[in-house]
Amino acid sequence: MFAQQDIPAGCIILAEHPTVILPYIIALPTSSTELHANVLEYLSPSKYKEVMSLSRGPFPSDDQVDDVLSANALAVELQVPDGPNADLPIHRALFLKTSRINHSCGPNARWDWDSSTLTLTVTAVRPIRKNEEITITYIAPDQPREERIKCLETVHGFSCVCSYCLILNTDDLLNSDIAREILHNTWTLGNLSSFNKWCRDPSMPDDFLISQHMRALTLIQQEGLQVLDYGPGMHPDLDVGRHCDAIAMCYGALEDTDNFILWIKHVKEMHIVWQPDRAPVFKKWISNPSSFPVWGWRKDSMTDMMSKLGKCESVLDLID
């Protein structure tokens, strides 16, 4: 699938309902082939033809439908009612449009599943140029290259040839694997100091927290991993948004007007894509930086102010 026009980050590329949903584990007195036939007979001729035109993977069996599902279906969670003999919540779902989107270990889009509406949404995680291929990841992309290749070969039956796997230089490959491991562990193992702790601890350099988040953004850009979403809490802009929020807050706490305006504008551009009604709040902060709720915290050690507002680790915490 290729972009027919320039697509900005955060833009929804497509939304679709599954054509077929099947349980992963079938505990029925019928074979999977019979089950597949029973399900597919409800499809219109055009839908059936489109399903059967999808890739069967590199090692086709006698069951064409199972081949298609194995090669193209995504794991989704359903709201399964409790009770005896209840299905497991994880099912296989086949999406005709999304199935046409290839894998990359540095994808420019992500997919999200809403079980309440049975809708899958594909969203750009970074700007996509016209005629550029749209890609998603089929696996956890922060694994080392050898593990990614093995997983894709085992589960999906193909060897990855994306640019992030076709690294020939040994040093470049090692640096890539290290970068992905760092990103995987960024929010764990105490690798990232909290904003509140940094504000209160004068022994930490002023740029200590900023440098940590800047480094993470650099590695995300290097590895094409804007799709990562490992940070605490919900954030519509995933880890990129969390890091940008934190940098803007740090510059605000330092009363660094120029850098604060630079980063809060960047944060604004990301936020108003999904919630445009917040634009006036950002406009106020840009025109009057001192109105930013954590302005000067680091320089003035405003402990009383911090105790009133509570824990703040993101710009999201500062917007009513």
Reference 9, options 112, 131, 123; nearest CA is 123
Predicted pLDDT of residue 30: 61
Q: Per mean pLDDT, which range of 78-87, 95-104, 182-191 is the poorest?
A: 78-87
How many Å apart are CA 97 and CA 100, to the nearest integer?
6
Predicted pLDDT of residue 190: 67
Give 109 or 34, the one with higher predicted confidence: 109
pLDDT, the chain, mean: 87
Predicted pLDDT of residue 192: 83
**How confident is the model over 158-170, as pLDDT tens digits?**
889 999 999 889 9
Mean pLDDT of 277-300: 93
Predicted pLDDT of residue 302: 46
Predicted pLDDT of residue 18: 95
Q: Which residue has the tokens 């290290």?
A: 178
Q: Per mean pLDDT, which range of 59-63, 142-146, 294-298 is the poorest?
A: 59-63
Predicted pLDDT of residue 312: 66
Confidence of residue 92 (pLDDT cuts 50, 70, 90): confident
**How confident is the model over 106-151, as pLDDT tens digits?**
999 999 999 999 999 999 999 999 999 999 999 999 999 999 999 9
Predicted pLDDT of residue 308: 47
**How confident is the model over 235-255, as pLDDT tens digits?**
888 999 999 999 999 999 999
Predicted pLDDT of residue 221: 96
Predicted pLDDT of residue 67: 84
What are the Cα distances from residue 115, in Å, to 80, 86, 91, 118, 152? 10, 17, 11, 5, 26
Q: Six-digit token pair at 159?
A: 């060897």
Find out whether 225 and 106 touch, Cβ atoms under 8 Å. Answer: yes
Predicted pLDDT of residue 153: 87
Using only C-alpha atoms, the chain has a radius of gyration, in whole angstroms, of 23
Predicted pLDDT of residue 300: 72
How many Å apart are CA 135 and CA 165, to the nearest integer?
14
| Residue 201 in this model has a pLDDT that exceeds 70 | yes
Number of C-beta neighbours around residue 162 at 10 A = 18
Predicted pLDDT of residue 281: 94
Q: Six-digit token pair at 77?
A: 């969670």
